[in-house]
Structure 1
Amino acid sequence: MAGDKLSEHFGHCQYFAFVDVENNAITNISRMDPPEHQPGTFPRWVAAIGATDVIAGGMGPMAVNLFNEAGVNVFVGATADIPRNLVTRFLDGTLKLNANYCDHHGEHGHHDHGHHHH
């Protein structure tokens, strides 16, 4: 986040908004300052806090891969808006994303990355 809106550049965000959701309802929004930015710091930190999904304005594929390795889903290309609005739209399926690094093949549905068992 930058100010009170979503930061366009993930690596430059001043703080993170962690949104707690239960039964598709927002129960709490907490603002947390991230550790000093080093490669791989944010994904480990976010995963350690227990977040399962990250909504970002812009993020490089390396960062996306690090998040995925940490077990965190990444949704990239969200508009700069306040966390409550973004998460509300995310939950009801109306969040508009102009990029999604998870989906390279036009497949719909959930699939594991790099964990294909035959």
Structure 2
Amino acid sequence: MELKIAFPTNDRLNVEEHFGHCSEFKILNTKDGKVISEEFLTPPPHEPGVLPRFLGEQKITTIITGGMGAMAINLFKVQEIDVILGATGSITENLNTFLDGQLASTGSACSHHHGDHDCNH
């Protein structure tokens, strides 16, 4: 089975806990549980609806992040991209846990009120 997994990041090592605040996405192409290639993509400026469409155009199958708003989650679902929330720390550790079938989404969604960015974990 082939997957194309996106992790938002600001340092190329760790998961950015809010996908809309990342400077890059680390994209990992996997086949049968093994990484076959990786790359970094710079996203377009963050505006509602832009990032789900951008990642859909990249043929991403899964996004693993800390949190995101309910609207973004729904837009990813429309793009047929699986969303896993609650990830923190090392991209490599999260990837390995995911490929082992042990990374479950916590379902944490972010709420945004008047410019604030508070995630409800």
Identity of counterpart residues, as a percentage?
A: 35
In structure 1, runs of 5+ residues without a counterpart are 102-118
CA contact (8 A) 1:6 1:81 kept: yes
Gaps of 5+ in 2: 1-8, 110-121
What is the TM-score with the length of structure 2 in the denominator? 0.75
What secondary structure, in the 3-state scheme, does the structure 1 residue paired with 2:83 have? strand
Q: CA RMSD in A?
A: 1.6
For 2:68 and 2:16, locate their aligned partners in 1 and report how far apart those are by CA, in whole Å: 10
Which residue number corresponds to residue 24 of structure 1?
33
| Structure 1 residue 71 corresponds to structure 2 residue 80 | yes
Mark the CA change 1:15 to 1:53 in structure 2 (over 3 Å): closer, same or farther: same
Report what 1:104 is aligned to: none
More strand per residue: 2
Q: Any idea what the Cα deviations from partners look like across 1:41-65, whole Å, max 9, x if unmatched?
A: 1001101111111101111111100
CA contact (8 A) 1:79 1:97 kept: no
- For normalisation by structure 1, the TM-score amounts to 0.77
Match for 1:44: what amino acid?
R
Alignment of 1:12-91 (within 5 A): 12-82=21-91, 84-91=92-99
Q: Structure 1 residue runs of 4+, over 4 Å off?
A: none
Paired amino acid for 2:71: M
